[in-house]
Amino acid sequence: MTNHLWMQEDHHAFADTVRRFLDEEFQPNRDQWKKDGLVPKDFWKKAGEIGILGATIPEEHGGLGLSRHFDAVTFLEQAKIGDSGWGFSVHNIATHYITAFATEQQKAKWLPALASGEKVAAIAMTEPGTGSDLQAVKTTALKDGNEYVINGSKTFITNGGSADLIVLVAKTDPKAAGRGVSLIIVETEDLEGFSVGRRLEKMGMKRNDTAELSFQDVRVPLTNLLGTDEGQGFYQLMKQLPWERLILAYSALGASQCALETTLAYVRERKAFGKRIMDFQNTRFKLAEVATKIEVLSAFVDQCLAELDAGTLTAEKAAMAKWWSTDVQCDVVDECLQLHGGYGYMSEYLISELYTDARVQKIYGGTNEIMKELIARSIDVD
């Protein structure tokens, strides 16, 4: 298994804690939560209690004040048990927006509840009419006295049905493109005009609560603008994107490792033509290829994390990590499923869940085509 050179004693200890927590609190419930289409709030609170949710939130705001490496540990451990349904990634991204851009008052108001799991967060960018082209969002947040009045609808929102706090992408100046975008924090409890629409049925990620959201003359105080100035939303989104892309890359890495592990266990047991499936040269070569891809991916993603930590990770390199890792993940799970034969297609086998969960990784967080567009722009300079 891959060796992350940055992992010191405290990272290993944290990984042990996360692994134990997932074994005890997640694994016994994984099938039920798949049927429910939801990971319950109670689980979030337990994750908060042991410090998982607030690992990188500053100590003065209820977190542990650790580096992003500790979040990476959690994303790896979650993916290594073959789950991508628990929407911690989105919750984590929301906390990073607040940590990076909120005023001290706003941090004190929102971060402690996000660290403890009292509040679950979502990020609402995508709309029925626009996904990749974020500058074209139609949702508006217009000033009226001391409040913003919000109108619009969002779709495909992870944690959408259970979110207590939403980082909403809206136009505070509908006539402007990127410069008209602001991030508004919406607290959903008893909020008039806010409603959750359909909980969306998906090909995979069955435990994930993905929903449509509607805002009809929703009023929030002007102090819910993230930061102090309107029109900063696009800049704020761009600044956080490298981290979001690395989260997806670590999830892709962990899921690929999980696929390899579960496949090794299967091919060592299953026999055909009087031999273990493992003993066919094709199986050994396929697994050798998969193991190599995972090692190479791990080295690249770790390098990106080191650069992020040093403040030197470029947007285009983060985009490379996103498209490459998710492409590798989809290849790996496909090869691993093939080695399971017909059993790989059966829902009761973990590889089948890994396969259907993997596909969306090439789509959300910026599609892989958009990633390639960003990379191409960076190399197409005179």
Ligand X SMILES: Cc1cc2nc3c(=O)[nH]c(=O)nc-3n(C[C@H](O)[C@H](O)[C@H](O)COP(=O)(O)OP(=O)(O)OC[C@H]3O[C@@H](n4cnc5c(N)ncnc54)[C@H](O)[C@@H]3O)c2cc1C
User: Cα(234)–Cα(134) distance, rounded to whole angstroms?
Assistant: 8
State the nearest-atom distance from the C-beta of 285 to ligand X, in Å.
Answer: 32
Stretch that binds ligand X, among 57-65, 187-195, 258-266, 362-370 (CB under 6 A): 362-370
Nearest residue to 13 (alpha-carbon basis) of 82, 73, 88, 80: 73
Q: Is 101 in the site for ligand X (CB under 6 A)?
A: no
Q: Is 110 in the site for ligand X (CB under 6 A)?
A: no
Q: Is 90 in the site for ligand X (CB under 6 A)?
A: yes
**How far lies 295's CA from each of 2, 260, 266, 313, 354, in Å?**
6, 12, 21, 21, 19
Of 73 and 93, the one with the shorter C-beta distance to ligand X is 93
Of 163 and 277, the one with the shorter C-beta distance to ligand X is 163
Of 15 and 358, the one with the shorter C-beta distance to ligand X is 358
Evaluate whether 372 touches 323 at the Cβ level (below 8 Å).
yes
Q: Is 188 in the site for ligand X (CB under 6 A)?
A: no
User: Among 158, 182, 263, 325, which residue sits at the site for ligand X (rule: CB under 6 A)?
Assistant: 158
Neighbours of 142 (CB within 10 A): 14
User: Among 47, 52, 76, 157, which residue sits at the site for ligand X (rule: CB under 6 A)?
Assistant: 157
- Angle of the 9-21 helix axis to the 68-80 helix axis, nearest 10: 40
First to last CA, the chain: 42
User: Among 131, 233, 254, 344, which residue sits at the site for ligand X (rule: CB under 6 A)?
Assistant: 131
Residues in the chain: 382
Give the helix, strand, coil percentages of the chain, each rounded to 5: 55, 15, 30
State the nearest-atom distance from the C-beta of 42 to ligand X, in Å.
Answer: 22
Of 71 and 127, the one with the shorter C-beta distance to ligand X is 127
Q: Is 88 in the site for ligand X (CB under 6 A)?
A: no
Q: Is 334 in the site for ligand X (CB under 6 A)?
A: no
Q: Is 205 in the site for ligand X (CB under 6 A)?
A: yes
Nearest residue to 251 (alpha-carbon basis) of 93, 130, 116: 93
Of 172 and 283, the one with the shorter C-beta distance to ligand X is 172
State the nearest-atom distance from the C-beta of 356 to ligand X, in Å.
Answer: 11
Identify residues 210-269 at the interface with ligand X (CB under 6 A): 210
Nearest residue to 149 (alpha-carbon basis) of 215, 214, 212, 102: 215
List 170's β-bridge partners, or say none. Answer: 182
Evaluate whether 56 touches 95 at the Cβ level (below 8 Å).
yes
User: Cα(228)–Cα(310) distance, rounded to whole angstroms?
Assistant: 27
Q: Is 132 in the site for ligand X (CB under 6 A)?
A: yes
Evaluate whether 153 touches 122 at the Cβ level (below 8 Å).
no
- Single-letter amino acid, residue 50: I
Left, alpha or beta for 156 (phi > 0: left; psi -120 to 50: alpha)? left
- Catalytic residue positions, numbered: 244
State the nearest-atom distance from the C-beta of 159 to ligand X, in Å.
Answer: 7
User: Among 119, 364, 374, 375, which residue sits at the site for ligand X (rule: CB under 6 A)?
Assistant: 364
Stretch that binds ligand X, among 10-18, 174-182, 237-245, 356-364 (CB under 6 A): 356-364
Stretch that binds ligand X, among 63-71, 307-315, 316-324, 357-365 (CB under 6 A): 357-365
Q: Is 124 in the site for ligand X (CB under 6 A)?
A: yes
Binding site for ligand X (CB under 6 A): 90, 123-126, 131-132, 156-158, 202, 205, 210, 360, 363-364, 367, 369-370, 373
